[in-house]
Chain A
Amino acid sequence: MAHYKIMGQDPYWMNFFGLILLTVIEVAAVGVDLGKTMTLFILTVIAIPKFLMIAAIFMHLYGDEDSAILTITALFPAFFIIIMILFVGLTHPEAASGLPDWCRPGNYGL
């Protein structure tokens, strides 16, 4: 359990209100037509702090006596995640167009 305060208040309540606020901004950003790139930027910028707030405060990766080693444990797959996202998801030279026939739409023997 958390033994600290955020701005003098209970951390769980503060985290809860923060998450709600960020989600409202997220949904509103989609409602307002800002263009695809700006929308993606805003969604990404909001998703990162939401992710960290849940992990740090609700999952106790901040403030507990065993937080440090568990944070390192939690970060362990980050190496593989970077490989997957960067080298498979983003930078493959031919991306989906270079896939073999059996892995492309319309080749399921239907």
Chain B
Amino acid sequence: MSVGIAMFLFTLAGAYQWGEFTEPGYVPLIGASLFVVTIGLLVWWRQDISFDGSYEPKSTGAPFQNIDIRKVAMWVFLMSEMMVFTSLFSTYIRYRLGIESCQEVFESGNWVEGSSVTCFEPASHLIASSWFHLAPGAINTFALIVSSFTVVQALRYAKMVDIDDTVRKRKVTRYLGATWVLAIIFLTLKMVEWFVGFPLPDFMHEYNHGDSSIKSLYTEGYLINADSYQHHAYDTHYIETHEGYELSEDSALYAMMQAGTHPGGHMMANIQVSATTFYVTTGTHGAHVFGGIIGLTYMTFKASRGGYTPDNAVSIEYFGLYWHFVDLVWVLVFPFFYLY
């Protein structure tokens, strides 16, 4: 399965570059890689579906004596995952601190209309600009927290020895199913935020700067290949004519415009680095959520057949560790990529 996933990533990167399919020749290889992953999953599930907990191997070596080998393996796996996300976070911190922010460049006046400047534009400038923009990310945060809770509840009922098998089956299936639904909601809202956007009812327009809809990041032009990105907050004409926006009187740009040495206009920015750090980090997290959905699909199916008992409930616990880790990463991604 690992080979299949590696093949998929390499071939997808070969075929899809800078927002376009550039090498259609890779498509059969992408199909082949997905086939390998599917076969790997089916073999895995075929072995697991009959697992009743009768043989759960224990670790014998120090320092993990008598701990389930699968549990230790899951923790080691999660630590390697933590390194992946740490490298993404340190990249983000370095670029965010090292590249002047677009707001600072705009207010410095060191730009001319029609010529692009390189600066860091955090996605939060768009996302945290109104409650409506923030809604998908905020709902997703609550969805993940609730889903962490539902996984724990599924484990609790799977481990209960003093309840009827039918009740256990129903409870475990419902809680795992609820987790699946919440994960689907998470990815759906992610797609809405990235690609779709959503309309607002008439009475809400005034709370959204008069706009009738919330645009997606894609529509706003917040893209990894955006070398001439424009935001209305960096347009002196827009600022002058819209309430809620004003150019700081302490800024160099204000002084230059007052003195007639800067004509103002609409600043154009190269935001490829900032958009890339945002999409790679949140996209990697989204890929983990997708992986969780695949696992949950199988586990909910197994639970619906009464497959979980107190003897093999640890399987839910090990999946839960992964799922809580996904929640844990989001706890850091949300404030630092979406809010700040």
A interface, CB within 8 angstroms of B? 1, 12, 15-16, 19-20, 23, 26-27, 30-31, 36, 39-40, 43-44, 46-47, 50-51, 54-55, 58-60, 66, 69-70, 72-74, 76-77, 80-81, 84-85, 88-90, 92, 94-97, 104-106, 108, 110
Instruction: Let me know if B335 is at the binding interface, CB within 8 A.
Output: yes
Task: Check A47 against B152 for contact (C-beta < 8 Å).
Answer: no
**Also in contact, A69 and B98, with CB within 8 A (given A19-B145, A40-B340, A80-B86):** no
Given contacts A1-B159, A59-B325, A95-B97, contact A27 B138 (CB under 8 A): yes
Judge whether A1 and B156 touch: CB under 8 Å.
yes
Q: Select from chain B the residue with minimum beta-carbon distance to A70.
A: B75
Most buried by A among B64, B90, B159, B325: B90
A85 touches B93 (CB 8 A): yes
**Contact partners of A88 in chain B: CB under 8 A:** 90, 94
Residues in A neighbouring B146, C-beta threshold 8 A: 16
CB-CB under 8 A from B138, the residues of chain A are 23, 27
> Given B95, B142, B331, B340, which contacts A54 in the complex, CB threshold below 8 Å?
B331
Please tell me if the beta carbons of B94 and A23 are within 8 angstroms of each other in the complex.
Answer: no
The distance in angstroms between the C-alpha atoms of A95 and B142, with both chains bound, is 35
Across the interface, A23 reaches (CB within 8 A) one of B86, B145, B273, B332, namely B145
Beyond A1-B155, A66-B67, A70-B67: 10 further Cβ-contacts under 8 Å? A23-B145, A51-B331, A58-B148, A58-B149, A73-B75, A74-B79, A89-B91, A89-B97, A96-B273, A97-B98
Interface residues on B, range: 35 or more
| Residues of A contacting B: mostly | helix
B321 interface residue per 8 A CB criterion? yes
B227 (CB) vs chain A CBs: closest residue: A106
Interface of B is mostly: helix
Chain B residues positioned under 8 Å from A66 (CB to CB): 67, 71
**Is B49 close to A, CB under 8 A?**
no
Bound together, the chains give a CA A69 to CA B328 distance in angstroms of 20
Q: Determine the chain B residues whose CB is within 8 A of the CB of A77 once the complex forms.
A: 79, 82-83, 86
Q: Is the CB of B153 within 8 A of A95?
A: no
0/1 interface trace, chain B 261-286, chain A, CB 8 Å (1 if under): 00000000010110000000000000
Task: For the complex formed, measure the closest distance between the CB of B121 and the CB atoms of chain A, giving whole angstroms.
Answer: 11
Complex alpha-carbon distance, A31 and B118, angstroms = 28
Supposing A58-B324, A89-B94 touch, asked if A20 and B145 sit within 8 A by C-beta, the answer is yes
Does B328 contact A51, Cβ atoms closer than 8 Å?
yes
CB neighbours of B99 from chain A (8 A): 95-97
